[in-house]
Chains A and B, each alone.
Chain A
Amino acid sequence: MEAADRAEQFIPVGLASLRIEADEVDLAVMNAAHQMFWPAIRALLSLDLGDLEPERDPDLSRAPQ
């Protein structure tokens, strides 16, 4: 899991699996984005929301039922 956190592995592996090409500039931007978002994504995933009842067919123009 620790290895997957590292941008230098996550990004090339992800790009290769989707066959997305990237030059050095693309990779620099992606690494910066990864450093910014990944810790927050891990924190988000660690929120325990398992007991939260889903909002079925949410109507975002109104308060939840």
Chain B
Amino acid sequence: MSALDLSLRGQAAAIAAGEADAAELLDAALARIEERNPAINAVVATFPERSRAMLAEAPDGPLRGVPVVIKDEWPLPWRAQRFGAAELLAKTAPGESGPYRALRDAGAVIVGVGNMHELGSGSTGNVSVYGAARNPWDTERCPGGSSSGPAAATAAGLVAGAVGADGLGSVRFPAAYCGLTGLKPTFGRSAMAGHHMEAVTTLIVSGPLCADAADCRLLGSTLIGEELAAGDASGLRIGVVRDTVSEDVTPEVGEACGAAIEALRAETGGEIREIELADLDAATLAAILIINGESLGGVSPERLNDLDPDISPINRGFLKYRMLLPAAAIAQAARVRTLMRRRLAALFEEVDVIAWPTIPAVAPPLEAPLVELPSGTQTADQANVRGAALANLTGIPAISVPVGLGSESLPIALQLQGAWGADALLLDAAEALERANGRRWVDARSPLAQTEPAGA
């Protein structure tokens, strides 16, 4: 087995113990990208000499010599971000972003830039200036977005971990579609410097995408700058909501997530409590309005009249539509945020985590990203966002954990949301769920990740 097929922590440990050569590992990652990436379009830029320079200068940190991919959302010293788009409505330039510095200081080696849904505006990953990214479980399916490339790269075994960003579920959706574990940290904890919305966003965070919770703990600790120490999820109080987010899902998603919640309860010796969480639809819309309002700063009508022709038609139209959003609605969205934060603060006195499906259906086809739900046919974006936006609106952390494979051998995932600062508890709970499932779903590998190397 190649060292590249070890876990993120396994690679770090092997290098530290002298059992793996970091230079060989980097070459293996570059070769793996060359071999497998054409099928999934996950990595949109490599820079071998820059990567080798990072390795040569890597400090003796917890990720020394470990190759990782970073989303096209932050600048690198040698490359400005493109945000998956022909042009950004914000000024960008190469530079040392927060995630770059965090990775560099941990000794990690950035081996490539990950594709993303254009302008971060979709949950599917099928729209990008680089072309659609594809799901390693089925290359005709969406990998999820907007962190499509980081997820697909990790699920295809190009790297063992990647950095994404989550403004309305953009780490959790691709983690769910690609069978990975994805952590959306508490707002403000993880490195964000250099993001073109850093000064105005109140929703977006950086977060890790890895095979399992232990790797997310390692990469998440790097992004946060402090150890997310392993603890104990014993006696976990699991809140479940009987609402659209948990009930308007496909039968296979409902069954897998229901079984996972019960398995988590049994593994932790905890309890399941039904809770009320009203106005979730309003919370979802509030998050959408706030993030669109925040990204309007500095955008003039003249600028919108001179958009690059290679911006996708859907984003051209939506960029203009959002200029018409009423200020009263954005102000009301801020009040809904206050309302939901207070409700959650009260709920987290009663439960430790709130659990519901990350996605209501498995990854849809790239050509037609629609999902068939009990309520009818919907776009994947419409259906997905209602389960994710609450965490971004209120600032709480959330994690997506693989809990099964559907009838088409596509991943199903459960989301756990915790109180502010409970990032480590979510990882503890995710590890308990892995134990309960015998690590069956976190150890499952996509067909592309099982590809034999050429000449083998």
Contacts and interface: CB of A to CB of B under 8 A. Distances in A.
Interface of A: 10-11, 14-15, 18-22, 25-30, 32-34, 36-37, 40-41, 43-45, 47, 49, 52-55, 58-64
Contacts of A27: 317
Interface of B: 186-189, 202, 279, 281-282, 285-286, 288-289, 301, 304-305, 313-314, 316-318, 320-321, 323-326, 328-329, 332-333, 335-339, 341-342, 344-345, 348, 382, 394-395, 419-421
B341 A58 contact: yes
Contacts of A26: 313, 316-317, 320
Contacts of A25: 313, 316-317
A59 B320 CA distance: 31
22 contacts: A11-B324, A14-B323, A18-B301, A18-B323, A25-B317, A26-B313, A26-B317, A29-B317, A29-B318, A37-B288, A40-B285, A41-B285, A41-B329, A44-B285, A44-B329, A44-B332, A44-B333, A61-B188, A61-B395, A61-B420, A62-B420, A63-B420
Question: Chain B interface mostly helix, strand, loop or mixed?
Answer: helix
A52 B339 contact: yes
A11 B304 CA distance: 15
Contacts of A40: 281, 285
A19 B306 CA distance: 12
A44 B316 contact: no
A27 B324 CA distance: 13
A40 to B, nearest CB: 5
B317 A36 contact: no
Which 9 pairs from chain A and chain B are nearest by CB?
A29-B317, A60-B395, A61-B188, A14-B324, A60-B187, A30-B321, A49-B335, A26-B317, A55-B338
A63 to B, nearest CB: 4
A54 B335 CA distance: 7
A2 B60 CA distance: 66
A43 B187 contact: no
B282 A45 contact: no
Contacts of A59: 188
A29 B18 CA distance: 56
Contact of B301 (A20, A43, A61): A20
A3 B59 CA distance: 64
Contacts of B317: 22, 25-30, 32-33
A15 B320 CA distance: 8
Contacts of B421: 61-62
B281 A47 contact: no
B92 to A, nearest CB: 23
A61 B187 contact: yes
A11 B394 CA distance: 31
A61 B286 CA distance: 18
B383 to A, nearest CB: 12
Contacts of B285: 37, 40-41, 44
A28 B348 CA distance: 43
Contacts of B336: 44, 47, 49
B338 A52 contact: yes
A27 B314 CA distance: 10
Contacts of A44: 282, 285-286, 289, 329, 332-333, 336
B264 to A, nearest CB: 24
B287 to A, nearest CB: 11
Given A29-B316, A44-B285, A47-B279, A54 B338 contact: yes
